[in-house]
């Protein structure tokens, strides 16, 4: 009985201790200070295990299809390159100042894990849901799955691209404008067809 009370007391002291530390304000939450190796390992393990677990059932489309790679390029340049870099750009204000640092997707060693099924599932999950308190946004709030898979496909081939190829694959052709003028022409010919009768 005494032993049990001892354990209960120890648990109580531990909870009060944690509460006192958290509410006292001594924990530095600044992004310009690194975690201790133990805390870093703890958080990294939680993140890796969480993403691996949550992404298990995701069905991966055929990421080698060329149109997937080309449509993902423009989105990548607009929304991701500022943090995850691009050919010829080795650092940006974001890539330098965030903690943890965003992985550099022009580096083949970083990207090679997305060539496996599990890697692609995990990368897609991170794009869709983001990573809490890291600076990685949840893009699923504003983008459909197809667009996010296209970015995943583009990232997989990014390390092979030089600057000129990157520019070519990330330039947006404004198809909306082309569609509009095409529709306009069609309407006019329809009208003239009706007028003749
Ligand atoms: C504001 C900066 C920022 C932007 C913009 C950003 N990311 Fe991230 N991203 C991060 C950070 C920081 C991490 C690392 C988080 C961590 O390690 O806990 C990350 C992680 C990731 C990961 C997971 C890496 C892994 O562990 O395998 C993927 C995939 C990813 N980002 C893709 C994207 C894509 C695609 C876009 C654009 C649609 C994007 N990110 C935009 C900051 C950013």
Per-residue pLDDT of 137-162, as tens digits, reads: 999 999 999 999 999 999 999 999 99
pLDDT on residue 181: 53
pLDDT at 70: 84
73 close to 165: Cβ distance less than 8 angstroms: no
Ligand 1 mean position to 184 CA, how many Å? 41
What's the angle, vertex CA 76, arms to CA 75 and CA 80, rounded to 5?
A: 120
Residue with tokens 């009985």: 1
| Beta carbons of 77 and 83 less than 8 angstroms apart | no
Q: Look at the block and give the residue holding tokens 């983008």.
A: 143
Ligand 1 neighbour 94 (Cβ under 6 A): yes
Distance 52 CA to ligand 1 centre (A): 16
The Cβ of residue 85 has, within 10 Å, a number of other Cβ atoms equal to: 21
Below-50 pLDDT ranges, the chain: 184, 186-197
Tokens of 68: 């997937």
Q: Which residue has the tokens 């204000």?
A: 93
If you take atom 30 of ligand 1, which residue's CA is the nearest one?
127
| CA–CA gap between residue 26 and residue 114 (Å, rounded) | 39
Q: What is the pLDDT of residue 119?
A: 98
């Amino acid at each position: 009985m005494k032993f049990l009370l001892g354990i209960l007391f120890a648990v109580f002291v531990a909870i009060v201790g944690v509460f006192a530390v958290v509410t006292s304000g001594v924990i530095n939450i600044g992004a310009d200070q690194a975690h201790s190796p133990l805390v870093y390992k703890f958080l990294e393990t939680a993140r890796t295990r969480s993403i691996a677990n949550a992404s298990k059932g995701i069905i991966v489309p055929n990421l080698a299809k060329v149109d997937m790679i080309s449509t993902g390029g423009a989105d990548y340049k607009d929304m991701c390159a500022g943090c995850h870099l691009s050919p010829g750009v080795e650092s940006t204000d974001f890539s330098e100042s965030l903690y943890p640092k965003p992985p550099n997707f022009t580096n083949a060693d970083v990207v090679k894990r997305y060539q496996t099924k599990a890697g692609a599932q995990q990368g897609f999950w991170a794009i869709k849901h983001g990573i809490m308190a890291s600076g990685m946004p949840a893009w699923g709030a504003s983008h459909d799955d197809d667009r996010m898979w296209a970015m995943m496909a583009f990232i997989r081939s990014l390390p092979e691209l030089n600057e000129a190829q990157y520019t070519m694959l990330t330039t947006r052709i404004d198809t909306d404008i082309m569609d509009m003028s095409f529709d306009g022409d069609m309407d006019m010919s329809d009208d003239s067809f009706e007028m003749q009768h």
